[in-house]
Homo-oligomer: A and B are copies of this chain.
Amino acid sequence: MSAYVFDFSEGDASMRDLLGGKGAGLAEMTKLGLRVPPGFTITTEACRTVMTDGAVPDSLWQEVDDAITRLEATSGRTFGSGPTPLLVSVRSGAKFSMPGMMDTVLNLGINDDVVGALAAWSGDDHFAWDAYRRFVQMYGEVVLGIPEHHFQEVLTDLRASRHVDSDADLSAVDLAHATSRFRQIIASNGKTIPGDARSQLQGAVQAVFGSWNTRRARDYRRLHGISDDIGTAANVQMMVFGDLGADSGTGVCFTRDPSTGERRPYGDYLAQAQGEDVVAGIRDTSTLDDLATIHPNCHEELLGVMEGLERHFQDMCDIEFTIEHGTLWVLQTRAGKRTAPAAVRIAVEMANEGVIDRSEAVKRVDPASLEQLERPRIAASARGQALTAGIAASPGAATGRVVFEADRAVELAKAGEAVILVRPQTTPDDIHGMAAAKGILTSQGGKTSHAAVVARGMGKPAVTGVGAMFVEVAAGRASVGHHDFAEGDLITIDGTTGAVYAGAVALEEPKPIPELEVLLSWADEVRHLGVRANADTAEDAAIARWAGADGIGLARTEHRFLGERTVIVQRIILTPDGPDRRQALRDLQTQQVVDFETLLEAMDGLPVVVRLLDPPLHEFLPSRLELEQEMVRRVRLGRSIADLEHMSAQVARWEESNPMLGLRGVRLGLIVSDLYRMQVQAALEAVVRRRQAGGDPQLEIMIPLVGNPEELIRMKEMVTEEIAKIEGSTGQKLDVPMGTMIELPRAALVAGQLARHADFFSFGTNDLTQMTYGLSRDDAEASFLQKYLDDQIMATNPFQTLDREGVGRLIRVATREGKEANPELIVGVCGEHGGDPASIAFCREVGLDYVSASPPRVKVARLAAAQAELSGAASSTA
């Protein structure tokens, strides 16, 4: 066995480190006895030697030559000459799939002489010149780095002058002409393609190795924690041709239906064609049944291959094959892509068939995909052309009438219209409109924008960041290019793909997937991590319970302060203490009692964690800027502005330059303490009422934004006082656990002290991320976060997936020290990350007790928690 080169017949799937992913896969199929075009892999070790020494190792080209000689013997073809020329493909293949590296050169080994031999061998000039043209173009682009557009311009000109639409319709002479032009272009760039096949091969292999060290590849590795030292392999494989005549063809097949998951072979076949043509959809493809008629032998052999591969890989396989002169060649196999419903069905059925066990079934389904299962989608039959696309911010599709303002959305929805709320972006002021709409569409913002986060929380489709769309709210108009939308126009959005359509597009209601509940029950058997829901209303709590939540991890009661109650809250904030203010407090308390009562009823018997008031006070107050703008308007109309001036002066008192770092949470509780006391009283009263009604309320009270133990101690005293009062007046014993959010870095750093005064911790990972990273979620996306992601300065959006190194380290420390100080401490997460699978894996790894997710993500979290349990040790090394 040689040092740097392995024939496919020498390796297997276990040799990924040395052969790369692609090389190991080809070796495995060869080992299984499938008819794979022969070839060999130049190892990652060779690449590493090149990087270390700056030169190709002495023996490499000799080994490659020997391998080519073996390949010539195996294939019965000759490399670089006729009469039966051996053409090869050269492909890079690292251990991990990686963008930014050289991909593929096909048809290598061709030159001015070989093209003639190829034409003679095939009896097909067009085939031979097309192969040559493709080789020169690919080698020019990929190995020599000539910009693609130079070649495309030549082809465009040729097609125009020949009045044809497709390159395939060009004649052999045209293709010969194009090849000649391509070589001139390469020469005018100071480059040249070697005529000698072995030199071509050496050039391509060096390009593969060189591409390991491009800026883009290095940036990618740095950001994904892949070592620069592992290097890539290069695979050299004999070409087979599906376009050699009627007894040739190419196809793709799946061992089960990738759309529904049904257990039946499924595939496309295209006679007299190359692989790319199937994908390009130039001609209508045939089915596998058609293949049975055309090539019964090949068809039967293929069915055997499919069955064998599925059995071997224990998964639904996607197989690429080519038939060359009636002989079936298997080019590639991998786990087949499938729709979310298919993934669930396949996993459960395979487990029931005994092919895989239940744990494996649980691992097979992408938790994030569950979110779309119960939403409408664009019908498969729909033929609409998307107008534009934005960010797929919340899955599912919706059709409705365009509306630009939240109040208007509510009006039209009340009148029975389905509406889509279209805005530049949304703010907390739009929430009632979002609730009334079928879907949300914004021109700005990414996956963690307000619109995206709220829509996901509501389980509604949303498309955000549609850069091509210009929304003028005041003018009541939105435009995409020349297409204008006015209020009332129909529009359709697909939050699963980000597509936006003008008019109504046929939608499909989700079909029930009976296998889903089976899968989730298996997940529940596996997972130790609890899954609660973030729910502010009884409706949300009911949805969460139905989705299998173990309780409410976060009830943000202040969300109930917005809308109609804003006026009461303003009175409490702006009025000096006195009968008026006290009445407002009592009014709010009356309403809060009902809020809590219905919430506790919906979650009867399960824990309900009520977080006391958190957001900055100014969220309840009018914006001073808007007040001044209104003043400008009124002065122009000659009207009085005295009331606005008065309001502005009152509001100014509460103005903060950085509200996120301001008077919030427990700070507010200690400064405007009767507001907190009112909330506690209301929650306790709700417990008493639920008990009187025969219920089993499990209230827990959570204090937000605690930064030092003293804050928690004082709040706990207050809550304890209120509990004692109510116990005194009712004679009942109330057992209300009290805990704190950990959302300031300092809270995490003094968690050991906090734990002595808390029954539970809940990490508010949104805020913790904001503070740890010094990032404002409200601003960062627009100002620089998106660019950071685009430029790969950050690998992932830390508001979507928990930042392990920074925020995660704080969570780890706080959990450890909290539990050391108080072994009874229950620890959970209640930020956005509680519904993100990667973050859930981290939560399990650091020993949290539960995650709390938005109701539409409860099932996602159940499955992700089970997967985290199963991958266990593996994820802790990530």
Contact = CB atoms under 8 A, between A and B. Distances in A.
A660 B660 CA distance: 9
Contact of A708 (B657, B661, B794, B810): B794
A670 B784 contact: yes
A73 interface: no
A628 interface: yes
B774 A663 contact: no
A246 interface: no
A670 B624 CA distance: 32
A746 interface: yes
Interface stretch (A124-132, A261-269, A630-638): A630-638
Contacts of A656: 776, 778-779, 783
A810 B810 CA distance: 10
A770 B805 contact: no
A792 B670 CA distance: 12
Contacts of A750: 805-806
Nearest to A652: B625
A783 B658 contact: no
A117 interface: no
A337 interface: no
A772 interface: yes
A667 B776 CA distance: 13
A62 interface: no
Contact of A809 (B635, B658, B749, B794): B749
A422 to B, nearest CB: 20
A659 interface: yes
A788 B776 CA distance: 25
Contacts of A707: 773-775, 806
Contacts of A670: 784, 787-788, 791, 793
Contact of A710 (B641, B784, B793, B810): B793
Report the contact-size class of chain A (Cβ under 8 Å from the partner): 35 or more
A155 interface: no
Interface string A676-717: 000000000000000000000000000001011011011000
Interface in A779-811: 779-780, 783-784, 787-788, 791-794, 803, 805-807, 809-810
A780 B661 CA distance: 8
A21 to B, nearest CB: 26
A245 B279 CA distance: 117
Contacts of A784: 663, 667, 670-671
A770 to B, nearest CB: 6
A222 interface: yes
B778 A658 contact: yes
Nearest to A805: B750
A793 B744 CA distance: 17
A629 interface: yes
B767 A746 contact: no
A635 B657 CA distance: 28
A671 B785 CA distance: 10
Contacts of A658: 658-661, 776, 778-779
A787 B710 contact: no
Most B Cβ at <10 Å: residue of A222, A746, A810? A746
Contact of A661 (B222, B779, B803, B809): B779
A750 to B, nearest CB: 5
Contacts of A222: 710, 713
A783 B713 CA distance: 21
Nearest to A707: B773
Nearest to A661: B776
A662 interface: yes
A235 to B, nearest CB: 32
A584 interface: no
Interface in A649-677: 654, 656-663, 667, 670-671
Contact of A779 (B662, B671, B810): B662
B779 A657 contact: yes
A745 interface: yes
A176 interface: no
B749 A223 contact: no
Interface in A833-858: none
A144 interface: no
Interface string A456-469: 00000000000000
Contact of A657 (B659, B774, B810): B659
Contact of A776 (B662, B711, B770): B662
A806 B711 CA distance: 15
Nearest to A654: B783
Contacts of A776: 656-658, 661-662
A783 B671 contact: yes
A785 to B, nearest CB: 9
A724 interface: no
Q: By CB atoms of chain B within 10 A, which of A625, A661, A705 has the most? A: A661
Contacts of A667: 783-784, 788
Contacts of A773: 707, 744-746
Contacts of A771: 745, 771-772, 774
Contacts of A710: 222-223, 792-794
A482 to B, nearest CB: 25
Interface string A732-775: 00000000000111100110010000000000000100111111
A131 to B, nearest CB: 43
Contact of A749 (B671, B770, B810): B810
A787 B656 CA distance: 17
Contacts of A628: 625, 628-629, 631-632
Contacts of A775: 661, 707
A658 B661 CA distance: 8
A559 B143 CA distance: 51
Contacts of A783: 654, 656, 662-663, 667, 671
Interface in A616-633: 624-625, 628-629, 631-632
Nearest to A222: B710
Interface string A179-222: 00000000000000000000000000000000000000000001
A713 B791 CA distance: 13
Among A708, A745, A779, chain B packs the most CB atoms within 10 A around the CB of A745
30 contacts: A628-B631, A632-B635, A654-B783, A656-B778, A656-B779, A656-B783, A657-B660, A657-B778, A658-B660, A658-B776, A658-B778, A661-B661, A661-B770, A661-B776, A662-B780, A663-B783, A663-B784, A670-B793, A671-B783, A671-B784, A707-B775, A745-B771, A745-B773, A745-B774, A745-B810, A746-B805, A749-B772, A749-B810, A750-B806, A771-B772
Given A632-B641, A671-B784, A749-B805, 10 more contacts: A222-B713, A631-B632, A656-B783, A658-B660, A658-B778, A661-B661, A661-B779, A670-B788, A745-B774, A771-B772
